[in-house]
Structure 1
Amino acid sequence: MTNWLPDVFSSPKPVVGMLHLSALPGDPGYDSNAGIAAIVDRAKRELDALQSGGVDGVLISNEFSLPYLTDTERITSVTMARVIGELSSDLSVPYGVNVLWDARASIDLAVATDAAFVREIFTGVYASDFGLWNTNVGEVSRHRHRIGAGGVKLFFNIVPESAAYLADRDLSSIARSTVFATLPDALCVSGLTAGAPTDTQSVSIVKQAAGDVPVFVNTGVKAENVADQLSVADGAIVGTFFKKDGKFENSADQSRVEELMSAARSYRAEAAA
């Protein structure tokens, strides 16, 4: 696999900021009185904070659709498409989408909104907080082909949050077989939950096993550890640190985005020197 990252991102070792949409119609937390307009308004503010703060890309997800479904309702991706359509004129960085936790719906949404990439759980069987969680990467890959989504890059999260792999396999073996058998465009390594630290050793293990496939740190990246994480990983996806006071439920805080991105740029400049 050739290095495709420069074709999508303008900076080496890109930092992708999470744009967490508010609870959507059908979700337990949806505010039907405020309606879709409130979701769009918050999303626009979040996008402005992330882009003004200097992120290299944005990943739009229904993070507040808790508790998540593994086979989502149609209203979820339909509403996300509506919101992304309203954001489209303001998007100035590469963006991806993630319909938690539904691989097919995520790819469908990417095609509908011209997203460059998707992050999802594509492989494995898990015991999770959301029940027994199965996948079918062969079926999803064929669906991707049928709908003309070959250009959409797939980020495989091989250490999903709030779940444990049912097979007794080590991380290196999982990474090697995932790369060989399922053809991911990138691998993501996570901690236990959103914002939870990702062990640098785990990232190193996956990186060594992944060959030419890029590896992203998926959770727990902060201004104080971004240099260490990027010294191993090919990129990072950041959500919780960018929030006000570093709390998952809060809105994005531009000053925190600027703080982390300044540290990331400093690391990249030193690495290139």
Structure 2
Amino acid sequence: MPSPFDRSHALIGMVHVDALPGTPRNEFSVDEICARAVVDARALAEAGFDAVMIENMHDTPYLRGEVGPEIVAGMTAVGCAVRGVFDGPLGVQILAGANAASLATAQAIDADFIRAEGFVFATVADEGLLDEAAAGKLLRYRKAIGARDIAVFADIKKKHSSHSITADLDIGATAEAAAFFGADAVVITGSATGKHTDPADVAAARAAVDLPIVVGSGGTPETLPRIFECADALIVGTFSKKDGDWRNPVDPARAKALVEAAAALRG
């Protein structure tokens, strides 16, 4: 299957799906949500992004670990619509930590990867305690539904979380655990969406594992050179939006600036 890592300095663009039916902030029908997602996906594709990922970011406050069938159905509808305008690597994340739902959606829409929270160890997130490492159940589920070709990008020391439970484990050890438990890539972030990712954390993960390293926050044209010293890919969902606000639609000019910065690094 296609992979974001087919090209160096890869950019993964976020489509932050509008609040889905049944969630507190829902305003639009599924058809309207799909149409708005397509606009963002098309803008990312036309800018030259290497991959796109859909995420139910607007579904706050998030449920912990599981979501209802209406969310899976809504994300599947969005994914099918996005797939119609973007034929490159496509990813899915369903918050918060609804990794099996992400995988089922990804299989239904012919996606290539998911982003998984809580893959190893435990963490205290803003939606509550993620107290059971997901890897064992998730990879068995992936095997059971015949979705082995869908890669799992595992967050380690995830954003919007306290890591006091695992304070004696550095990020390198956490990356090693994710690799041992079967992650296909690891994702490293700053403290919150759009926040700077510490290059020392990226370097530590790079030294610890022979897996693709994805930076998940803080990407701008100015930070790309430092990020790509050790990272293989960058997920962008803040800078690429109008006024640098993840809640807004994709700004084609800002998206293009990122693509041009990555291209310059490739030489």
Q: TM exceeds 0.5? A: yes
**Cross-structure match for 1:47:** 41
Superposed, which structure 2 residues align to 1:9-158 within 5 Å?
A: 9-31=5-27, 34-70=28-64, 71-101=66-96, 102-121=98-117, 122-134=119-131, 135-158=133-156
Aligned CA distance change for structure 1 residues 225 and 218 (closer, same or farther; 3 Å): same
Write the letter of the residue equivalent to 1:73: G
**Cross-structure match for 1:238:** 236
Q: Describe the SS at the equivalent of 1:216.
A: strand
- Specify every segment of 5 or more residues in structure 2 that has no aligned partner in the other structure, as ranges: none
**What's the CA shift string for 1:47-66, capped at 9, x where partnerless?**
11111111000011111111
Give RMSD over aligned pairs.
Answer: 1.5
Structure 1 stretches of at least 4 aligned residues deviating more than 6 Å after TM superposition: none
Task: State the Cα distance separating 1:42 from its structure 2 match.
Answer: 0.9
**What's the CA shift string for 1:184-225, capped at 9, x where partnerless?**
100000111111110111111111111x21101011111111
Aligned CA distance change for structure 1 residues 239 and 8 (closer, same or farther; 3 Å): closer
In proportion to residue count, which structure has more helix?
Answer: 1
Q: Structure 1 vs Structure 2: percent identity of aligned residues? A: 32
Write the letter of the residue equivalent to 1:227: P
TM-score (norm 2): 0.93
Write the letter of the residue equivalent to 2:188: V
TM-score (norm 1): 0.91
Do the aligned partners of 1:189 and 1:202 also contact (CA within 8 Å) in 2? yes
Do the aligned partners of 1:100 and 1:120 also contact (CA within 8 Å) in 2? no
Query: 2 CA distance for matches of 1:196 and 1:50?
Result: 21
Task: State the Cα distance separating 1:238 from its structure 2 match.
Answer: 0.6
Instruction: Say whether residues 1:202 and 2:201 are aligned partners.
Output: yes
Query: 2 CA distance for matches of 1:100 and 1:204?
Result: 27
Aligned CA distance change for structure 1 residues 191 and 7 (closer, same or farther; 3 Å): closer
Query: 2 CA distance for matches of 1:18 and 1:120?
Result: 15
